[in-house]
Amino acid sequence: MIDSILVLAAATTTSWGPSIAIVMVICNVLAIAIGKFTIQQQTVGASTPIAGMSAGAVVGSICLGHILGAGVILGLANVGVL
């Protein structure tokens, strides 16, 4: 009983391709831009050449980008665009 419910709840995913990579890159760039304008202390910690932000700020922004990217990819795949 529970197995059949879990099978119905599982999302169908698409296989990796260039369109999925482009969506993930766009989401990561968007997240870095959001982080650049919203993180108050960007330069605290080890510096990186990416947008003049610290390593923690970059990692946090890219984590947000991957969360956004996963949601956008699953949403677009569910609608049928990807």
Residue 81 falls inside a structural domain: yes
Q: Does 21 have pLDDT greater than 70? A: yes
Question: In this structure, is residue 19 part of a structural domain?
Answer: no
Q: Of all helices (H) and strands (E), which one includes residue 77?
A: helix 55-79
Total domain count, the chain: 1
In a domain, 34, yes or no: no
Q: 69 in a domain, yes or no? A: yes
Residue of 5, 7, 24, 11 whose CA lies nearest to 74: 11
Domain interval for residue 71: 54-82
pTM: 0.76
- Whether 63 is covered by a domain: the verdict is yes
Exposed / middle / buried, residue 4 (Cβ in 10 Å: 0-12, 13-18, 19+): exposed
41-61 pLDDT, tens per residue? 777 777 777 667 888 888 889
